[in-house]
Chains A and B, each alone.
Chain A
Amino acid sequence: MLLLGIDTATRRVGVVLANERGVIVRVELGGATDAAPPRHAESLAPAIAWACEQAGVTPADLSAVAVGTGPGMFTGLRVGVTTARALAHALRVPVVPVPSLDLLAYPLRHAHGLVVATIDARRNELYWAVYRAVPGGVQRESGYEMGSPDELRAELEARGEPALLCGDGVLRFRSVFEGAGHHVTVAGPAHAAPSLTALAELAAARYEREEFCTPSEVLPLYLRRSDAEIAWDRKGA
């Protein structure tokens, strides 16, 4: 089994190649909290090519393509998900979609209490999901949510349990959460971007269980919805 993983839900462009023994190559370009302009479209394909070259494999060797589906940056997710779909379609291999919030939480599975993964949603909002460590991983205890930092803080205060917060969303609003009381801890920049090792591990396990889908079934998690039509009063005139 050879797996290619892609995550572009944050500013960070992430590519990983893994087999059943673990990670072979991992490429990360740009930090999740980087101020520089994101370069998902420019960087992703060369990063995949470089990873394959270093591993001495070609895309034809791939068994599946795994992709982080967000929620996160619209522009990044579109590049990542489209690339995963196109590669999988051309190679006739399945896609393993994994929410990027899950990839943030999984490396913290040895924490006591709750793990809260967050991704910057912009507009002073964040995406989040609440997880609890269970043997072998994390169990999600909430939906994939979007809201203000104050809403998340209120939810954590209502739960009243120790909580470890990670992701670029919480780093952006650090002061809101560091004032939330002793039971809330903010993980540092090392936990700002969805983990590519987690993507490789989770996707490999799902691939073995045949929990995958066809390329056309894979969609990014879009939580920001505005279903109204635009009320054009000048257009029909």
Chain B
Amino acid sequence: MTVVTHGAVETQALAAAVGALLRPGDVVVLSGDLGAGKTTFVKGAARALGVEEPVTSPTFTIVQEYDGDVPVAHVDVYRLERLQELHDLGFEELLDRHVVFVEWGDAVAPVLPADRLEVRIGLDAGDADARTVAIAAVGAAWDDRRAALGAALTRAGAGG
């Protein structure tokens, strides 16, 4: 399902609608070019999960953890070279308790759980503020939430 947003505020509102559906153990795989707004999306979703402290890009720390209503982990794999490094970060253990966001996650898809939310953010050549956000819920973990997700995205798209 695809929603077009205009500006960071709308992208974060969309992300908040998605974030409200997330549970510990969920993985959100974010893809999109540099500057597309992956971190912006995480900020909006994290706020909906009760994270009050500022969410910053984990490009250099690789993993940032936040305490919200549920713990949130924000992972950026851009600086990794080997899939093994994701295991070495303790990625599997983050899934015990956290909602986990993985920027550039499509690059490490082979070692991510099969059940996941895929968020692809595309730039628009004609409009610097516009973003095309394509969201797909993959796997049985989403079976009972797919309808709610569709409704949330429709509402967010209609409001935007």
Contact = CB atoms under 8 A, between A and B. Distances in A.
Contacts of A235: 78
A225 B84 contact: yes
Chain B interface size, under 10 / 10 to 19 / 20 to 34 / 35 or more: 20 to 34
A166 to B, nearest CB: 21
A232 B78 CA distance: 9
By Cβ-Cβ distance, the 7 closest A-B pairs, closest first, are A226-B83, A122-B92, A75-B90, A74-B90, A226-B84, A228-B83, A226-B111
A228 B89 CA distance: 16
Interface string B83-94: 110111110110
Chain A interface size, under 10 / 10 to 19 / 20 to 34 / 35 or more: 20 to 34
27 contacts: A38-B93, A73-B90, A74-B87, A74-B89, A75-B90, A122-B92, A122-B93, A122-B95, A122-B96, A123-B92, A222-B87, A225-B84, A225-B87, A226-B82, A226-B84, A226-B86, A226-B87, A227-B82, A229-B83, A230-B77, A230-B80, A230-B82, A230-B83, A230-B107, A230-B108, A234-B33, A235-B78
Interface of B: 33, 71, 77-78, 80-84, 86-90, 92-93, 95-97, 107-108, 110-111, 113
A74 B80 CA distance: 17
Contacts of A232: 107
Interface of A: 37-38, 73-75, 78, 121-123, 222, 224-232, 234-235
Contacts of B84: 225-227
Contacts of A228: 82-83, 110
Nearest to A124: B113
Nearest to B92: A122
Contacts of A225: 84, 87
Given A122-B93, A226-B87, 4 more contacts: A226-B82, A226-B86, A228-B110, A229-B82
A121 B82 contact: no
A122 B82 CA distance: 20
A171 to B, nearest CB: 15
